[in-house]
Chains A and B, each alone.
Chain A
């Protein structure tokens, strides 16, 4: 393996670890949501004592729950697409097309990411808070930005991985999305 290829593989593996950690946090937030709803239902229905700021907590937690796994999902080719045509292409033609469409995705998410960072700063500066118990909103927006950042870096690595294959289409693929088995 050449030096740049080794570097790419190393970056890929390092990012994978961060992505898995982020996905784990996302799943953990879902469990937290589960416990919170359980507490709310028991409290409100049985003891007439609702959890204060329940909806606020969801507003805060949802962004992380929703998107912390998005980079992980891209690494494992989990974002759905139509493979009917592209799977018929082989060699360089396929890698060119993959690089182009992934490049488009990279540009799109990069723009959304920069905008989300601005919104997070704005929420921080303006002391933006939730409706009921006035929790600060910026951490939740910052988490969304982090999730998008992971996705941007992942897409960037994917583009590099594809471009490498465009140059040498017989090389062993590195840093491109590889689907998991059909396990549920």
Chain B
């Protein structure tokens, strides 16, 4: 006699959690449990056959081709001088504000985020570009380290965002709409971060020193150094917004421009390009391995009937839906402290997403909220990856110092999430305006 499929589903979810806690790589933990579960439910041959089928079919979608292209842009843009250009321009225009260099870092990171989809990569790049400048100008390590770590999180919201693409694939939502939906919340977050910098510096002026005055000509010249970046941003956001290009085409054209810019710079060596290509293949493989393994697990959960049963149960609870949402976000906040964002998405979405739909929340909006929660996880202890990255690039700044510096930004982030829950149009307005035909 076979056990209740629901029970098998619960056992599978628990087994995966235990394997992940034991240090098994998240992709393999999900895939192994999914495959064993399918074998239990469907028999050996059909299960293994299905596994091999999913490994091919789930990674060979045209839709997913945006992922390597966005990653390629991220790795090439450092060599194209886009980061330095963005920082110089932001510094010339915003340097005079209280904590001006830190504010500049936030906006330069926001600009860079518009060509890069990976949060930790952005933090690593700015730890090299912006931290030395801030420390030279007498900024405290705490502010300089923290602002780079939190600035990196903007990359996951402002399009192109790799993690929003993965969300879209896991829950089958429009990638174009998701990418656009992150744009306004990303800008809002950048402004909130800048305000947080200015307030902390006003409260504790010892954290930062003022910048010298720049002439208008100097400002214009600095703007020129950011022109390449502006061109790529225009293509990505414009292409998505008008529906003139598919997300993949936006990625391809953006990558092409950055590629040409990188080749045009004399400092770029053939080796740099080769390393960028290999790194692209590595990060793409990391993401795609998770994608197909996660989908094997999702298929297994589907056969158990656990997700809809859970959604039914939660929907039947006699509490306002906002409480359920807050409880889910609370779980994300705690999980985010311990688990990497991609792992978190894959662990939770198969069960949480049906609940969210059942409660009547918008799937695009929820994607942006979840990504925001994931990003908070990147700047909170004990495993806030962005803070470790900053401290990894700058071993003179202890990771505890970065975490301490990030506290005001975490509070600001939680307020931002609250505002997005109260006013969902912040997220949904732009994709709602999107021209028809955008994928």
| Interface, chain A (partner B; CB < 8 A) | 20, 22-31, 33-38, 40-41, 45, 55, 58-59, 62-63, 65-70, 72-74, 76, 78-86, 97-98, 100-102, 104-105, 107-109, 111-116, 118-119, 140-141, 144, 147-148, 181-184
Interface contact B281-A33, CB-CB below 8 Å = no
Are A65 and B65 in touch, CB under 8 angstroms?
yes
B277 touches A31 (CB 8 A): yes
B12 at the interface (CB under 8 A from A): no
B342 proximity list for chain A (CB < 8 A): 80
Contact of B49 among A98, A105, A115, A144 (CB under 8 A): A115
In-complex Cβ contact of B382 among A30, A84, A97, A184 (8 A):
A84
The 8 A-B pairs at the shortest CB distance, nearest first, are namely A37-B252, A115-B52, A27-B277, A69-B281, A182-B392, A86-B23, A26-B281, A105-B28
| Contact across chains for B289 and A79 when beta carbons are under 8 A apart | yes
Q: Which residues of B are at the interface with A, using a C-beta cutoff of 8 A?
A: 19-29, 31-32, 35, 48-49, 51-53, 55-56, 59-62, 64-65, 67-69, 71-72, 74-75, 78, 120-121, 124-125, 244-245, 248-249, 251-253, 255-256, 259, 274, 276-286, 288-290, 338-340, 342-343, 382-383, 388-389, 392-393
Q: A84-B383, A105-B28 given as contacts; is B392 within 8 A of A148 (CB)?
A: no
Contacts of A33 in B (CB 8 A): 65, 68-69, 248, 252
Q: Which residues of A contact B283 (CB under 8 A)?
A: 69, 73, 78
Most B Cβ at <10 Å: residue of A22, A27, A40, A68: A27
Is B20's CB under 8 angstroms from A55's CB? no
The closest CB in chain A to the CB of B74 belongs to: A184
Q: Hey, which chain B residues are within 8 Å of A183, CB to CB? A: 124
Contact partners of A147 in chain B: CB under 8 A: 285
Partner of B52 from the list A30, A86, A105, A112 (CB cut-off 8 Å) is A112
A-B contacts, 23 of them at CB < 8 A, read A22-B281, A23-B277, A26-B284, A30-B255, A31-B277, A55-B62, A58-B65, A58-B248, A63-B56, A66-B60, A67-B285, A67-B289, A73-B285, A80-B290, A81-B26, A82-B339, A82-B340, A105-B28, A109-B31, A115-B48, A115-B51, A119-B53, A182-B389
Taking CB atoms, residues of chain B closer than 8 Å to A140 are 60
Question: When chains A and B are docked, how far (Å) is the Cα of A113 from the Cα of B292?
Answer: 13
| Residues of B close to A36: CB separation below 8 A | 252
**Would A37 and B72 count as touching, CB distance under 8 A?**
no
Contact between chains at B23 and A81 (CB < 8 Å):
yes
CB-CB nearest in chain A for B395:
A182
- What residues of chain B lie closer than 8 Å to A24, measured between beta carbons? 274, 277-278, 281
Interface contact B20-A81, CB-CB below 8 Å: yes
Contacts of B276 in A (CB 8 A): 27
In the assembled complex, the CB of A5 is this many whole angstroms from the nearest CB of chain B, namely 24
Taking a contact as CB atoms closer than 8 A, the residue among B53, B245, B285, B393 that contacts A26 in the complex is B285
**Interchain nearest-CB distance for B374 vs A (Å):** 13
Check B59–A181 contact: CB distance below 8 A.
no
Q: How far is the CA of A67 from the CA of B290 in the complex (A)?
A: 11
Q: A116–B68 contact, CB under 8 A?
A: no
Determine if B56 and A144 form an interchain contact, defined as CB atoms under 8 angstroms apart: yes
